[in-house]
Amino acid sequence: MSIEVKIPPVGESISSGVVSVWHKKSGEYVEAGEALLTLETDKVSTEITAEKAGLLETKAEEGQEVQIGEVVALIDDQATPPAKAKTTARNEPAPAAKKVAEKRSANADVLSPAVRRMTTEEKIDPARISGTGKGGRLTKGDVISHLQAAPQTLTDDQEKPRGRKQPASEEPAAGGHERFTRKKMSPLRRKIAAQLVMAQQTAAILTTFNECDMSEVMALRKKAQEKFTADHGVKLGFMSFFIKATVEALKAVPAINSRIEGDDFILNHYYDIGVAVGTERGLVVPVVRDADTKTFADLEREIADYATRARDGKIKIEDLQGGTFTISNGGVYGSLMGTPILNPPQSGILGMHAIQQRPVAVKGEVVVRPMMYLALSYDHRAVDGKEAVTFLIKVKEAIENPTALLLDL
């Protein structure tokens, strides 16, 4: 009897996705619970697993767009598992070669989801890459280095000149590299693009700036770090301070914790704070629910968990829905200043930037302090300029005088 593998519902308003990777190929025997494929939608990537063991027959190609409910494979649960081949002494590999093969096999078995996806998509044998991680495990950096070192070949997705000879200015670069590569945007990247354009076209976006002295937060963080890590099993970062400061500022200026729906102005009385996380496939914004009720340890654990699951493609659609305000930290990439774009339908987004030692005037004297530029982009339809400036000053004051924020440390 053949069991149909259908694309399951993966979230509200999602009607289709793209078969990003087949983890098992047609004709292979699969075990119950094994990952068959990764489905990439416009919001998240989801692994679809086998309900029962059997022989797999795929019905969809990698890169193909499929609808929710569509049959993408069949599993023959009457098929018997393939017998393990017996090796003879004559075919037994030399001890040294056997040891290397065993090590490579072990490394392949412990690939992280992100590394497994990269090697599958790029059709790379993990055993051919030397791992630099703990115990010789492969890291994403190892795969990227391997791809950069490997000779590049023209693929069907790349643009090919037709009907004329290439002029000298369009000759391939040294090493056979093509001048450009053409490929379809992923559903996630298309969704990000649509959201950004929609935000620009439907909201009256304005940005106000300020800067804050990070001296007190850095000193308190350094002082509390060892005990905090020992007590809670997670490091104390800057993001939890900014979430706490943001909640206090939203309480002081409620208009920013709002959204506009048609002719209605909706004021939220809860604080679900989105934290932007960059991944290889694009930016996602998981939401920290009821941030006003959570301790620093709760916030740090939740942020770390979201970041790991987002980068491994394990985040759930419900983790990304319903935020009332967003914080984006471009400083982790070295950004000194920028204007973040609203995450619709929210009315505000706070942009953090790099900490930089700069000369500032303090009590009439010039001193060097670790400073961070802050940016608040807001929907001017819902928020007045005075409210926006007041909000940013409240965040600045909380960061520069964090004692009140630290009561639960």
Q: Which residues of 284-316 are buried (b: 16+ CB within 10 A; e: fewer)?
A: bbbbbeebeebebbbbbbbbeebbebbbbbbbe
CB 329 within 8 A of CB 303: no
Residue 346 is classified by DSSP as: B
Residue 341, classed as helix, strand or coil, is coil
In degrees and rounded to multiples of 5, residue 2 shows phi and psi of -100, 130
d(CA 166, CA 52): 54
Q: Which of 157, 231, 290, 384 is catalytic?
A: 384
- 380 noted as active-site residue: yes
Q: Say if residues 117 and 38 touch (Cβ distance below 8 Å).
A: yes
Sequence-ordered alpha helix ranges (H) in 312-345: none
Q: How many residues does the chain have?
A: 409
Tell me the backbone φ, ψ of residue 179, rounded to 5 degrees: -70, -30
402 neighbors 217 (Cβ within 8 angstroms): yes
Q: In what order do the strands lie in the sheet with 35-40?
A: 45-49, 35-40, 16-22, 65-67
Closest CA to 48 of 28, 81, 19, 14: 19
Active-site residue identified among 177, 231, 290, 380: 380
* Cβ–Cβ < 8 Å for 378, 348: yes
Q: Are 253 and 386 in contact (CB under 8 A)?
A: no
DSSP string over 227-292: HHHHHHSS---SHHHHHHHHHHHHHHSGGGSEEEETTEEEE-SS--EEE-EEETTEEE--EETTGG
Hey, which residues are catalytic here? 380, 384
